[in-house]
Amino acid sequence: GGGGGGLLLLILVTSLLKHLKHANIVLLHDIIHTRETLTFVFEYVQTDLAQYMTQHPGGLHSHNVRIFMFQLLRALSYIHGRRILHRDLKPHNLLISYLGELKLADFGLARSKSIPAQNFSSEVVTLWYRPPDVLMGSIHYSTALDMWGAGCIFIEMLQGAPAFAGGSDELEQLQNIWTVLGVPSEDSWPGVSLLPYYRPGELTCRCPHAEGT
């Protein structure tokens, strides 16, 4: 049932976090288990990147962008080297301390599996940071899933606004991406026509939430 699935997810996340010891990953101090609750005690970090960018509108100073990106890529290198995908990179999941330390957090969607991964869900990653192959239904993905999110965050820090904002569903999100990057073809993206929701000759794809449009 749903309760069993939730418990299994908690066990999985706990197992992942207990083995992640890195300066740029939020530290799990303790787990407090009672009859009714399971409480995770993490290190205290003052804010996150989303709030930090709100406090510094118009884009961050290039020096700070370099520092934050270096720390983000260090964290990703660490988890990818241990065959873990975060699967939900976005500014809200990057904690920032008063000292300028970046901490990768919120591993609720993270998975440990062989990389490249097979047969995962395409319902991962907050929509604005989801790569186009996953938007088109791919369930075979690897570390590139997280790297697309990192690239989107890099652009957002530079320009002060999300790279591909405004998408309310997969179809609209793909339109936003194609407007900037161009519509892919087999010449520019070999294999794109094999993705489950790809529809040739159109600006977008045949995504489940866009049926009938």
Copy the structure tokens of residue 35: 């009859």
What type of residue sits at position 146? Answer: D
Annotated active-site residue 88? The verdict is yes
Is 128:173 a contact under the CB 8 Å cutoff?
A: yes
Residue 30's pLDDT band, with cuts at 50, 70 and 90, is confident
pLDDT for residue 147 is more than 90: yes
Taking residues 164-186, what's their average pLDDT? Answer: 89
- If one looks up domain 45-184 in CATH, what number appears? 1.10.510.10
* pLDDT at 204 > cutoff 90: no
pLDDT band for 201, please (50, 70, 90 cuts): low
Of 124 and 185, which is predicted with more confidence? Answer: 185
H-helix or E-strand spanning residue 2: helix 2-18
CA 173 to chain centroid: 15
Region 175-195 average pLDDT: 90
pLDDT in tens, 92-129: 999 999 999 999 998 765 555 544 555 444 455 688 99
The 3-state DSSP class for residue 39 equals strand
Residue 95's closest CA among 63, 50, 125, 129?
50
- Region 25-50: mean pLDDT is 83
- Whether the pTM exceeds 0.85: the reply is no
Q: Which pLDDT band, with edges at 50, 70 and 90, does 54 fall under?
A: very high
Q: Measured between alpha carbons, how far is 11 from 62 in angstroms, rounded to an integer? A: 40
C-alpha dist (Å) from residue 171 to 53, 76, 147, 162, 206: 28, 28, 21, 18, 8
Integer Cα distance of 124 and 122 in angstroms: 6
d(CA 67, CA 55): 17
* Rounded Cα–Cα distance for residues 176 and 164 (Å): 6
Res 29 pLDDT > 50: yes
Find where tokens 């049926």 sit: 211
**What residues does each domain of the chain span?**
45-184
Catalytic hit among 48, 88, 133, 146: 88
User: What percent of the chain shows pLDDT beyond 70?
Assistant: 77
